[in-house]
Amino acid sequence: MASVEKVVLGNGPWRWQDVVAVARYGAQLELSPAAWARIDNARGIVERIVASGERAYGINTGLGALCNVVLQGEQLSQLSRNTLLSHACGVGAPLANEQTRAIICAAITNYSHGKSGLQRRVVEALLALLNRGITPRVPSQGSVGYLTHMAHVGICLLGVGEVSYRGQIVPASQALAAEGLEPLQLGAKDGLCLVNGTPCMTGLSCLALADATRLTQWADVIGAMSFEALRGQIAAYDAEIIALKPHPGMQRVGGNLRALLEGSEVVASSRGIRTQDALSIRSIPQVHGACRDQLAHAALQIETELNSVTDNPMVLGTPDDYRVVSQANPHGESVAMAADLLAIAVAELGGIAERRLDRLINPLVSGLPAFLVSQPGVNSGMMIVQYVAAALCAENRQLAQPAVLDNFVTSGLQEDHLSLGTGAALKLHRVLDNCTQILAIEYLLAAQAFEFLKGQRFGVGTDCAWSLLRQRVPAYDQDRWLAPDIASAAALLRDDAALAALGASIGGLQ
């Protein structure tokens, strides 16, 4: 992904790539004057309601099942503070810094619409966390949709909890003081706004889209290497044949495969050696293409949510003519379904990769030395890495079970249908990590297979991929510690520059 130094939010639709630029690559985030004006207008409505004494959920009432308890005066500020403290009850290992930053980005996007009603200084404080490198430590577990993750972010604005700052874990109060920032004094609705909406699942899913997009391209590259190493029949990728099944993803994958294999003497000399290849070899366009189409659908759903208002209640109009509406926009069903669907697609990418890599090490079907090593017997070669890939595939099958179908009843029957969207997004990240390792293993094996076929020219793209890996991982002449090789291959799959170089070798990966 190209480096972006600054992202301005508030003048038009935001893309998931904008979230990634801020959360992962450290771009500075700013709000446009129009966004600040919307935020100030909404706050004016909240202050008018407080002054009038009109009852409005979450502004001057308790929350959830306590929505009929009316509050006033200092109780409103205390409610906001208590909301954060009581909701900050997550458990488990903390999120990665980029995950927390993505959540904060998505929350600020929600507020920028000016339908929430929180104070300007709360949004300014969240921007300061991002732009000054103060990242709250947020436990990963405990959300049935939203609430806990953003509560852990919110308490850091109060000077409570811990943060990652300048490479260390320190008290939030210490980091704020080091940056000359004062702990926030909250007002009416501020606490509810901070924990409400779908920023957790949406921010996490934006990062997942970046990783899935990169993996789909690498899957084509590595799949093409396996195809070539196994001397596949290129007729299955013929442009005329592929065009007869016009799924968009399938067309892109077919084009990638043909470009990657262009000029291969291995492929040319293999024409006609068998009637047809195994499905894991000849169906790469169909399977990878279907996964790409699900990715496109998921991206549409997630990006739509990113540009949505997901607060409850919403404040509409102006301080002189307003409405306060309780509704269910914080329900994250769309994102939860998208994350679940994408988890299935990514698990399938890993599943077909495992079938291909198994063929590479099996001399009964590969035509290559057993387990891709000279002197098999004294050397076990690549035997056990296939076990690792199979184990990761098995775990992905479990993780690909839809989270959105689960349900619980919370808040004294008030919240009785839940999306489990944050859980769906988090397990999607685990599926992506597993698939990265599976593809890294296939990459190692395909590159090792090339060592036994070096007498002929490889495809222009597959040869580039082989060379890129060999810059980091030497050929496997005899048994050695394999775990570092897998780690090096996986690191290459996360390297944007390497993918760009591959694309350049064939005039662009689709």
So which residues are the catalytic ones? 57
SS3 383: helix
Q: Which two tokens stand for residue 439?
A: 């593809």
What's the angle, vertex CA 426, arms to CA 397 and CA 482, rounded to 5? 60
Calculate the alpha carbon distances from 23 to 28, 204, 386 in Å: 9, 10, 34
Q: Give SS3 for 396.
A: helix
Q: What is the 3-state secondary structure (H, E, C) of 17-51?
A: HHHHHHHCCCCEEEECHHHHHHHHHHHHHHHHHHH
How would you classify the pairing of strands 168-171 and 139-141? unpaired
How many CB atoms are located within 10 Å of the residue 452 CB?
Answer: 16
Q: Are 293 and 249 a contacting pair, CB within 8 Å? A: yes
Quick check: 59 and 102 in contact, CB under 8 A?
A: no
How many helices and strands, by DSSP H and E, does the chain display? 21, 9
Place of tokens 């103060």: 134
State the Cα–Cα distance between residues 472 and 494, nearest whole angstrom: 14
Contact 150, 195 (CB under 8 A): yes
For strands 314-318 and 162-165, give the pairing: unpaired
Q: Which pairs with CB-CB distance under 8 Å and at least 24 residues apart come from 16-21?
A: 16/205, 16/206, 16/209, 16/210, 16/299, 16/302, 16/303, 16/306, 17/210, 18/105, 19/102, 19/105, 19/106, 19/109, 19/203, 19/206, 19/207, 19/306, 20/102, 20/206, 20/207, 20/209, 20/210
Q: Do residues 237 and 254 touch, judged by C-beta distance below 8 A?
A: yes
Residue 132 tokens read as 């000054």
DSSP-derived letter for residue 381 is T
**Residue showing tokens 């495809």:** 459
Contact indicator for 354, 387 with CB cutoff of 8 Å? no
Distances 278 to 55, 268, 356, 363 between C-alpha atoms, Å: 67, 18, 9, 15
CA angle at residue 401 from 397 to 406, to 5 degrees?
A: 160
How far apart CA 497 and CA 1 sit, in angstroms, is 9
